[in-house]
Structures are given as C-alpha cells and as structure tokens.
Structure 1
Amino acid sequence: MDYEYILVEQRGPALWVTLNRPAALNSLSLALAEELAAAIEAAEADATVRACILTGAGRAFCAGADLLAIGDGTGGQTLAERLNLFLPPLGQAFNRIETSRLPIIAAVNGLTLAGGLELVLCCDLVIAAHPARFGDAHANYGLLPGGGGSVRLPRKIGEARAKHLMMTGGTISAAEMKEAGLVTQLVAPEDLIAAAQALVESLAEKSRPGLAYMKQLVRAAQDSSLEVGLRQELETMAAYALSNDIVEGLAAFREKRKPDFSDR
C-alpha cells in the first residue's frame, strides 16, 4: 500500500519503518498510527522479513500525540468526544505492534515523549542513540497517559521510576533509561542504523516461529501466576516440538554446525 506519514524500506531481513512527520517531531496522528500497524501486518505476511525496525525522521523519534489536532474544537465536538475517537484506535494500533509475531525493534534517534514513549513500550528491543531523551510529559499539559503508558511503563522500568516520569513530566537520558531497563543497547548517533540492522541480521539466523513463541510466552507471563506461566511454557514447547526448526536445531548441535532453519 501507499503510505503518507511513514517511510517503508526493506534492507535484507529488516523492514525499516520511519515515522515521517519531522516538522511536527513525528507526532502521532491517527492516520500515522494506522499506517504503522498496517506496515507491521504486511511485514508478517512476507517471509523475507524477519524483524521490523521503527525509527523517526529528523531530530525526534516521536514527540507524542498530535495535540494540535486533538485540541482543535473547530469540528463542533467536545474534547471528550475527540479523545474517544482518537484513543481507542490508537490503542488498537499499539496493540497490533506489541502482539506482532515479528520482533519489533525501536531505533530511538532523538526526543521520545508521551505517545512516542508509549510506542517504544510496545517494542521488543530498544536501541537508543546517546543524545535521545525519554519522558512521559502528559502531566505538563494536564493530560493522562492514553496509549497504555500507565500500564506498560511500570512493568518495564518499575513503579517508582514510572511514577516519577509520569508525575514530574520531566525527561531522562538514554543512558538513564538503559539503567532503568527499557533501553537494551546504547550507541553513538552515527552507529544507530548499523547497530539496528546488525541486530536484525542476528535475529534472522534464529527460528522465526521460535522467536514468535518466545514473544508470546513473555507477554503472557506478565499477566499470569508462576504456576500458570510454567504450564504455558511446557504447552508451548510441546507445540513447538512439532516444528521442523527444533529438529534442525538439535541436529545442528549434534553435528557441530550452524542450523539452517526453514520454518516461516
């Protein structure tokens, strides 16, 4: 499909998806969010794509929701009505990204605030350039998180740190966010693209269904008791044991060679 607010480019096994509203710091319109979800869905149907990388054009990754559009009352709707039209579809787009069968990597190139942070929270792995800064920022404008931030942020960085970011409206560095546990790799700005691409090249050597099962298990475990989570792990292993990839992986181990996974 043709995209208006994102750029999509496949580089080897990686599908690069760039938020492309640099003049607005890549702020999230509903159309942009829907295009993101559509790009992920298309990537899942393409066996040559092994992971998606999300990044931003210009100096920001994403500065949050397009508040100018949300706050514009020229259409005659109340603010509550406009928020009700915007937030549920935004949440559905974020959920589509979070639940993708593919690994989703955020390559954070710059400012990441509010809805931009909520988007990063839906990604599996986060590579950030040193100058990038992260913040919730909703409190600065009398708003509340509406894209899952109040749920996902405490789970990713802990309740105390999440409350601090949410209540103060301040920002923290990429290095601080790595210490908090959200950023998985910190690089120089000039190395961001190469580092993200290298990560996908590494993931492409793994079993595609195997990685999908891992994502599924980790996500399910967030809402499960230890007993339920352990049972789900065994049930998932039993399902995965029927795949060609697990047979190939064990054969490669025995034969001391690199596995050639074929399941897609």
Structure 2
Amino acid sequence: MSQFKRQPPPQSYAVVSFPAPHVMLVIFNRPKALNSMTSSGQYELESLFAWYDNEPTLRCAIVTGAGRAFCAGMDLKEWNASNARRARGELEPPMMPRSGFGALSRRHGKKPVIAAVNGLAFGGGMEIVANLDLVVAARSAKFALPEAKRGVVAMAGSLPRLARTIGRPRATEMALTGKSITADEAREWGLINAVTDDAAGDAEVLERPVVKAALELAASIVDNSPDSVIISRAGIVAGYEDGSSENASRLLSENWGSALDDGQNLHEGVLAFAEKRPPRWVDSKL
C-alpha cells in the first residue's frame, strides 16, 4: 500500500484490499451477525470512503459481504441498547453518519462504488444497494426493507430513491409489506445491473462469480479517463437527485466544464485517437 499518498484509515468492521490496479475492495466482515453494522463501523466506513475519494490512484470501489449475507442492516442489539440509554435521558450520538447507512446510502461522493451482492441485502443493506452506482447480485441474493415488521422505518435514504428507480407501486410494496424479492426480480425491476451464478459454499471472496463480475465492471471503468468517469458520474447523480435534466446539465457544464478542458486526460484522449494508440491516462486531479 506504499503507492498511496496516505494510508487508508483502520477498519474493525470491514476488510479492505486492492485486488486490481486502481480498485478498492471492501468486505463487510461480521459473517456470524449477517454483517449487521455497528455505529462505530459506519463511521469507520465514512472515513474510508472519504479517503478513497481523495486518493488519486484509486478510481473504482467494490463492496461485498463475508459469509452468506451482503448486509442484514443495523445491529439491533446495539440499537436496543441505544434506545434504552435515550429513555434514561442520556445523550446519544447519531448511530449513522451524514452519508447514511454504512456511509453509502446517502453518499454523493466523487468516484463510483459497485455492489457485489452475495446474499441477503435487508434493511440498511438494501438502503446501501439503492444508492450505489452499479449492482451485480448472485442468483440466490434477496433484497428487502423489513423495517415495518420491527416498528421502524427505512429512513437512511432508500425510500425516495427507490420510488425513482423501481417506481412508486413496487417501492410501496417493498416498504409497506416488508416482502423480499429475488435477484431476478430485482433485475427485472431495474434495481440491479446483472445476476451471476452462486458461489460454492467454500469459495474465497475473490473466487465468487459475483465478485468477479464486479471486478470486470471495475476494470472497464478504470480503463477509461478518470476525469471523464468522475464528471460523467456527477452528471448522472445530479439528474437523479435533482430531477431536472436541464438544471443538472447546466450545473455539470458550469461546475466541471473548465476543469475537464484544462485537464491532461482530455488532451491525451484526443491525441491518442489521432495517433491511433491506447491513451495513457494520468491520475485525476479533480
């Protein structure tokens, strides 16, 4: 990891590795608890993804889960203990950061994050999926918002985003009934990009078909200009969040046009085309 300007912040909840050039892999790592998240783990992830956005050599990230779950949501035992302290009048810090559940469900960020959903994505895990840039899932993966069954609400950002992604009727069905849907249904609904075969029970994370598919997507992304990836993603996020295509287009041009024109990668891409050779991208300075 000596190639980094600064070392990644330490993690106790997740395992972080760099399995391919310019790619960060984050494994949610509480398999016995179905990778349910603690509040401290969420703040660790917020620091990690802030570091990722600011590390010039990294261009794409992947998140997946250890064991048989992607993420089953919040650690309910910790949540119950926090509720008890509040009931006694004790001051409690927010259980999740401003960037949402797992630092991802409300993240805008600068660089793309891909989900490789290997199993259950329930509650907060589903809220993460609803806000990521690309999602691939193993065939046996399941997606659900079961919060209403526990007297709580999915308030980490997924409800309005799902209404836009899969439509009001389907989002309402998920949120109000708590039903789970399969990976094939999620793809049919437009929630995910692709479905892969399941992994063997003893397969290492990097040998899982869903992680291999995510790494292939990441490789396709990092082959392109890192400036173009950052700015293209910003345009998509702006249109998705704001809802106005014209306003998002105007902001994209005003905020990013000069930086793109002045950057080395735009000139390298055009020159490489003229010289009939592969472009030699440099790390983004955006």
Aligned to 1:22: 31
Aligned to 2:16: 8
31-40 vs 174-183, which deviates more?
A: 31-40
CA 1:256–1:61: 2 relative to 1, 3 Å = same
Aligned to 2:4: none
Aligned to 2:198: 189
The amino acid that maps onto 1:129 is A
Residue deviations 1:164-206, cap 9 Å, x none?
1001101000111111112112111231121111211111111
Task: Give the 3-state SS of the residue equivalent to 2:73 in structure 1.
Answer: coil
Task: Give the 3-state SS of the residue equivalent to 1:134 in structure 2.
Answer: strand
How much has 1:230 moved relative to structure 2?
2.8
Structure 2: tracts of 5 or more residues without a match: 1-8, 200-208
CA 1:241–1:224: 2 relative to 1, 3 Å = farther
Residue deviations 1:101-136, cap 9 Å, x none?
221011100000111111112211111111000011
1:91 aligns with 2:83: no
Contact 1:244 1:263 in 2 (8 A): no
How much has 1:80 moved relative to structure 2?
10
Of the three residues 202, 207, 227, the one matched with 2:225 is: 207
Identity of counterpart residues, as a percentage? 33
1:226 aligns with 2:245: yes
The amino acid that maps onto 1:219 is V
88-97 vs 40-49, which deviates more?
A: 88-97
| Correspondences of 1:221-260 after superposition (within 5 Å) | 221-222=239-240, 223-235=242-254, 236-260=256-280
Contact 1:87 1:146 in 2 (8 A): no
1:49 aligns with 2:39: no
For these two proteins, the number of residue pairs brought into alignment is 264
Distance between the aligned counterparts of 1:44 and 1:166, measured in 2? 32
More helix by share: 1
Task: Give the 3-state SS of the residue equivalent to 1:85 in structure 2.
Answer: coil
Contact 2:10 2:44 in 1 (8 A): no
Aligned to 1:125: 134
Task: Give the 3-state SS of the residue equivalent to 2:143 in structure 1.
Answer: strand
Contact 2:136 2:196 in 1 (8 A): yes
Aligned to 1:142: 151
Aligned-residue Cα RMSD (Å) equals 2.4
Contact 2:101 2:124 in 1 (8 A): no
Aligned to 2:216: 198
